[in-house]
Amino acid sequence: MQATADWTLIFDQTNGLRTGRLSESYAYIRKLAAYSPKAKVIRYGTSPQGREMLALLISDEKNFSPDAWAKSSKPTIFIQNGIHSGEIEGKDASLILAREILVEKKHAAFLKNVNIVLVPVFSLDAHERFGPYNRVNQNGPIEMGWRATAQNLNLNRDWMKADAPEMRAQIGLVQRYRPDFFFDNHTTDGSDYQYVLTLGIPWAQTIGPKPAQFGRDLYAQLKSSCEKVGFPTAPYFGMADRTDPSKGISVTDYSPRFSHGYLATMDRPGMLVETHVLKPYKQRVEATHRVMIEAISYCITNKQMLKKMNRDSDAAAMSAKEGSRFVLSSRLTSERTPFSFAGYEYSPNPSSITGDKIAAWRRDRPTTVNTFVRWNFEPETVATAPAAYAVPPEWQVVNNTLALHGLTSYAIGREAKTFGQVTRLSQVKFPTQPFESRFQPNFQAVTDVEPVTLPVGTRIYPINQMNAKLLVHLLAPNGPDSLLKWGSFNAIFEQKEYAEDYAMEPYAKKMLAADPNLREEFDKRLQEPAFKNSPSARLNFFFERSPFFDKALNRYPVVMFSAAQLATIQKNSRQ
């Protein structure tokens, strides 16, 4: 194919007013792969509506396998677009970047230094729910896709529970290629200000100290370089008061349900790119394109350090052991850093519709406000790792999810009776509405050593593996995005057997007669009016303490083991 072929996109042809359909993106990456031996299109999944999930691999090594890229001295850059398909400037920006690398040779030097995985559109079915009325707050393109999938799931809340077929495919792609740096391109809503884009870069204690410092240094470089070329930027922030920036702004450490939070569990640096919703689409595409060029250039400048840092992170995870501590969530400290906020004068408009004032800003009156940013963190939820976790075989769906996340395990071949760390849950409450198709329980967790019986086929997950932190995130009961908190074990909260009064009342009398301490406890409870006046509560008091009560109720089926307990399991399972 000749370089003189038409390489323009609908974006180019309409001067940035429109974006193309999925068919354009897929035809374009196939055309690039046909033109250049340094590009290859792979299919890595299928959407619920049957659309093929495609990625473009770009490398001058001519070996596109994950193993080859892992052994390469070049960092792997992963560019993800359209996880929210109404926010689609990343698609056009990255296709233009691919064109410049492979056809125009403007950034051909990139290929001497990095390998690239490019996903033009992640949420395919949402992208093809195409129309002009999908993003009321957004300034173009004229038509765009939708936020949620055909199953009405928000993919950028699905990284841990992995309900969506698209997400299961995406996790597989990420785990196979284990990128050294990750882009997730978006558009943000919110107040109006001068920044064309804001950047969310993990640097709290939930990511390793070296990738955290890499992120801080990267942000400082991008703030300088992007502003020099006309794209003022800031950290991805929230405002204490959108009408008054002098009250301060703050950043968030995002949990692993989000793309860049998920990569942080692998101690991989990444970047959430949020162009501003009120800026014209063309400007947003240009800003996304520029920030990718600048960030990739930074990765190239520091490629040896970046590659070594990630290899060291993997080696550290492989060396994790009982007692290793993992920060699963963080919180902002009270520290305030001076910040010069580039905004616009706030000038709300009176509304006869609402009877109140409607937010508005005077773009003809830019302002600079001396304020502060809170962007320093301290650990909040910290988990101490066991030597291993055990998941019984009846929880096959959970085991499948763990395998999807690249976690290694082995099944025991014999029943094992031993002691383990068992977690029991109390004060369990459920919301009245689902969130992302799940009902998430609230609970108090207490862990203690108890005798346990592990059936044949129980899967053992040692802590010393490459995704050790991700394993703890998924299985530690109090992890912010643990599978327990996402509702993957909700059946354990359902009581299946009950006691009739005619059976329990005579048994309760026998219990009282046999146990003076129980009588004392019962008499004390009778001082509570609600308990005293509830026949069912009084009988249930005895049922819960009887041998008939289900001891598995509110018991987390995932068991943790010390190194000594694990050794006993391994010995017994071989006998």
| CATH number for 49 | 3.40.630.10
- For the chain, how big is the Rg over CA atoms in Å? 27
For residues 198 and 305, membership in a common domain is answered with: yes
pLDDT at 570: 84
Amino acid, res. 291? V
Tell me which residue range forms the domain holding 529: 501-544
Q: Which residues of the chain have pLDDT under 70?
A: 1-4, 573-575
Contact between residue 81 and residue 40 where contact means Cβ atoms under 8 Å apart:
no
pLDDT at 136: 96
Q: Is residue 366 part of a domain?
A: no
Q: Is residue 122 part of a domain?
A: yes
Q: Is residue 1 part of a domain?
A: no
DSSP letters along 124-139, please? HHHHTS-BTTS-TT--
Contact between residue 66 and residue 177 where contact means Cβ atoms under 8 Å apart:
yes
pLDDT at 2: 60
**CA-based nearest residue to 161, from 387, 440, 466, 462:** 440
pLDDT tens, residue by residue, 331-344: 999 999 999 999 99
Tokens describing residue 181: 């740096």
Q: Is residue 29 part of a domain?
A: yes
The answer, as to whether pTM is greater than 0.75, is: yes
User: Any idea what DSSP says for residue 557?
Assistant: S
Q: Is residue 176 part of a domain?
A: yes
How far is 195 from 259, CA to CA, in rounded Å?
A: 23
How far is 418 from 455, CA to CA, in rounded Å?
A: 11
For residues 508 and 407, membership in a common domain is answered with: no
For residues 270 and 416, membership in a common domain is answered with: no
How far is 192 from 362, CA to CA, in rounded Å?
A: 9
For residues 568 and 520, membership in a common domain is answered with: no
Contact between residue 76 and residue 180 where contact means Cβ atoms under 8 Å apart:
yes
Q: Where are the alpha helices (DSSP H) in 15-154?
A: 22-35, 66-71, 89-102, 124-127
Q: Is residue 348 part of a domain?
A: no
pLDDT at 62: 80
pLDDT at 250: 98
For residues 518 and 559, membership in a common domain is answered with: no
Q: How many residues does the chain have?
A: 575
Burial 497-518 (b: 16+ CB within 10 A, else e): eebeeeebeebbeebeeeeeeb
Proportion of the chain in helix, strand, coil states, percent, rounded to 5: 35, 25, 40
Amino acid, res. 477? P
For residues 80 and 162, membership in a common domain is answered with: yes
Q: Is the dihedral of CA 567, 572, 573, 575 positive or negative?
A: positive
Q: What is the side-by-side order of every strand in the sheet holding 76-81?
A: 39-46, 52-58, 115-119, 76-81, 181-188, 270-276, 197-200, 233-235
**Which of 275, 294, 318 corresponds to the end of one domain?**
318
For residues 298 and 393, membership in a common domain is answered with: no
How far is 153 from 222, CA to CA, in rounded Å?
A: 32
Amino acid, res. 409? S
Q: Structurally, how many domains does the chain consist of? A: 3
For residues 390 and 285, membership in a common domain is answered with: no
How far is 315 from 247, CA to CA, in rounded Å?
A: 43
For residues 189 and 77, membership in a common domain is answered with: yes
**Which of 301, 318, 335 corresponds to the end of one domain?**
318
Q: Is residue 489 part of a domain?
A: yes
Q: Is residue 365 part of a domain?
A: no
pLDDT tens, residue by residue, 530-564: 999 999 999 999 999 999 999 999 999 999 999 99
186 CB contacts (<8 Å, ≥6 apart)? 83, 84, 87, 90, 272, 273, 274, 275
For residues 148 and 216, membership in a common domain is answered with: yes
**Which of 265, 294, 318 corresponds to the end of one domain?**
318
For residues 168 and 309, membership in a common domain is answered with: yes
For residues 385 and 455, membership in a common domain is answered with: yes
